[in-house]
Chain A
Amino acid sequence: MALLSLDRVCMNFVGLQALRDVNIAVEPGERRAIIGPNGAGKTTLFNIISGDLQPSSGTVTLDGRTVTNMTPERMFRLGLARTFQKNSLFLDLTTQENVRLAVQAHQRKGHHWFRPWWAFDALNDRTRRVLERAGLWSRRLEPAKNLSYGEQRQLEMAIALAGEPALLLLDEPTAGMSVAETASSVQTIGALPRDLTLLIIEHDMDTVFALADRITVLDHGQVIADDIPDVVRNDAQVRAVYLGEPA
Chain B
Amino acid sequence: MADELVVDRDLTAVEMPLDIDAEVAPKGAARRWLGGLHPAYLLLIPVLAVVPWATAQVFPFGVSLATSILILSVFTMSLDLLLGYAGLPSFGHAAFLGLGAYATAILSVRLGISNLGIALLAAIGMASVGSLVLGLLALRTSGVYFLMLTLAFAQMLSAVAEKWTPVTGGTNGLPGVKSPELFGGIVVPRGIPYYWLTLVIAVICFYLMYRLIHSPFGRTLIGIHQNEARMRAIGYNTRLYKLGSFWIAGVFASIAGVMYTFFNQFISPDDIGFATSGTAVLMVLLGGEATLIGPILGTTAYVLLQNFLSSMFTGRWQLIMGALFVIFVLFVRGGILGIWTRVQTRRKRGSA
Q: What residues of chain A have their CB less than 8 Å away from a CB belonging to chain B?
A: 11, 13, 16, 18-19, 38-44, 47, 50, 52-53, 71-73, 76-77, 81-82, 84, 86-94, 96-97, 100-102, 104-106, 109-120, 123-124, 141, 143, 159-160, 162-163, 221
How many A-B pairs with Cβ below 8 Å?
165
Give Cα A84 to B233, complex, Å.
10
Task: Confirm or deny: B222 has a beta carbon within 8 angstroms of a beta carbon on chain A.
Answer: yes
Q: Find B232's partner among A44, A72, A110, A120 (CB 8 Å cutoff).
A: A72
Task: Confirm or deny: B320 has a beta carbon within 8 angstroms of a beta carbon on chain A.
Answer: no
Q: Are B217 and A112 touching (Cβ within 8 A)?
A: yes
A232 to chain B, nearest CB (A): 21
User: From A169, which residue of chain B is reached at the shortest CB distance?
Assistant: B233
Given that A44-B2, A86-B9, A114-B215 are known contacts, is A73 also in contact with B235, CB under 8 Å in the complex? yes
Q: Supply 10 further A-B pairs (C-beta < 8 A) apart from A39-B2, A123-B216.
A: A82-B233, A88-B9, A94-B20, A113-B216, A114-B211, A116-B211, A116-B214, A117-B216, A124-B25, A163-B234
Q: Which residues of A contact B23 (CB under 8 A)?
A: 94, 96-97, 141
- Quick check: which of B11-19, B121-129, B291-299, B327-335 contacts chain A, the rest being far away? B11-19
Q: Which residues of B contact A52 (CB under 8 A)?
A: 229, 233
A69 to chain B, nearest CB (A): 15
Q: Are A101 and B234 touching (Cβ within 8 A)?
A: yes
Give Cα A102 to B232, complex, Å.
10
B3 to chain A, nearest CB (A): 4
Q: How many residues of B contact A (CB 8 A)?
A: 50
User: From A110, which residue of chain B is reached at the shortest CB distance?
Assistant: B220
Q: Are B233 and A76 touching (Cβ within 8 A)?
A: yes
Q: Which residues of A contact B18 (CB under 8 A)?
A: 92-94, 143
B13 to chain A, nearest CB (A): 6
Show 16 residue pairs from A and B whose CB-CB distance is below 8 angstroms, ordered by the A residue.
Answer: A13-B5, A18-B5, A44-B2, A44-B3, A50-B233, A76-B233, A76-B234, A86-B9, A88-B10, A88-B13, A88-B230, A90-B230, A93-B16, A94-B20, A97-B219, A123-B216
Give Cα A104 to B218, complex, Å.
12
Shortest Cβ-Cβ A-B pairs, 8 listed: A39-B1, A118-B25, A76-B235, A18-B2, A113-B217, A105-B235, A116-B214, A90-B226
Task: Confirm or deny: B24 has a beta carbon within 8 angstroms of a beta carbon on chain A.
Answer: yes
Give Cα A93 to B224, complex, Å.
12
Q: Which residues of A contact B273 (CB under 8 A)?
A: none
Q: Which residues of B contact A120 (CB under 8 A)?
A: 216
Q: Which residues of A contact B212 (CB under 8 A)?
A: 113-114
Given that A77-B235, A113-B217, A118-B25 are known contacts, is A43 also in contact with B226, CB under 8 Å in the complex? no
Q: Are A117 and B219 touching (Cβ within 8 A)?
A: yes
Q: Which residues of A contact B24 (CB under 8 A)?
A: 141
User: From A143, which residue of chain B is reached at the shortest CB distance?
Assistant: B18
Q: Are B234 and A86 touching (Cβ within 8 A)?
A: no
Q: Which residues of B contact A112 (CB under 8 A)?
A: 215-217
Q: Are A42 and B3 touching (Cβ within 8 A)?
A: yes
Q: Are B216 and A16 touching (Cβ within 8 A)?
A: no
A199 to chain B, nearest CB (A): 15
Task: Confirm or deny: B26 has a beta carbon within 8 angstroms of a beta carbon on chain A.
Answer: yes
Task: Confirm or deny: B223 has a beta carbon within 8 angstroms of a beta carbon on chain A.
Answer: yes
A246 to chain B, nearest CB (A): 23
Q: Are A159 and B2 touching (Cβ within 8 A)?
A: no
Q: Find B3's partner among A39, A118, A163 (CB 8 Å cutoff).
A: A39
Q: Are B3 and A91 touching (Cβ within 8 A)?
A: no
User: From A119, which residue of chain B is reached at the shortest CB distance?
Assistant: B32
Task: Confirm or deny: B6 has a beta carbon within 8 angstroms of a beta carbon on chain A.
Answer: yes
Give Cα A72 to B23, complex, Å.
28
Q: Which residues of A contact B241 (CB under 8 A)?
A: 110
Interface residues of B in 10-63 (CB under 8 A from A): 10, 13-18, 20, 23-26, 32, 35-36
Q: Are A162 and B234 touching (Cβ within 8 A)?
A: yes
Q: Are B8 and A86 touching (Cβ within 8 A)?
A: yes
Interface residues of B in 228-260 (CB under 8 A from A): 229-238, 241, 244, 248
Give Cα A86 to B223, complex, Å.
18
Q: Which residues of B contact A13 (CB under 8 A)?
A: 2, 5
Give Cα A72 to B2, complex, Å.
20
Q: Find B2's partner among A76, A106, A110, A221 (CB 8 Å cutoff).
A: A221
Give Cα A138 to B35, complex, Å.
25
B17 to chain A, nearest CB (A): 8
Q: Are B227 and A88 touching (Cβ within 8 A)?
A: yes
Given that A76-B235, A163-B235 are known contacts, is A84 also in contact with B9, CB under 8 Å in the complex? yes
Q: Which of A101, A111, A116 gathers most chain B CB within 10 Å?
A: A116
Q: Are B16 and A113 touching (Cβ within 8 A)?
A: no
Q: Are A16 and B2 touching (Cβ within 8 A)?
A: yes
Q: Which residues of B contact A114 (CB under 8 A)?
A: 208, 211-212, 215
Give Cα A159 to B230, complex, Å.
10
B286 to chain A, nearest CB (A): 21
Given that A105-B236, A163-B235 are known contacts, is A90 also in contact with B223, CB under 8 Å in the complex? yes
Given that A41-B2, A114-B215, A116-B36 are known contacts, is A89 also in contact with B227, CB under 8 Å in the complex? yes
What per-residue 1/0 map shows which CB atoms of B266-293 lie under 8 Å from chain A? Answer: 0000000000000000000000000000
Q: Are B229 and A88 touching (Cβ within 8 A)?
A: yes
A109 to chain B, nearest CB (A): 5
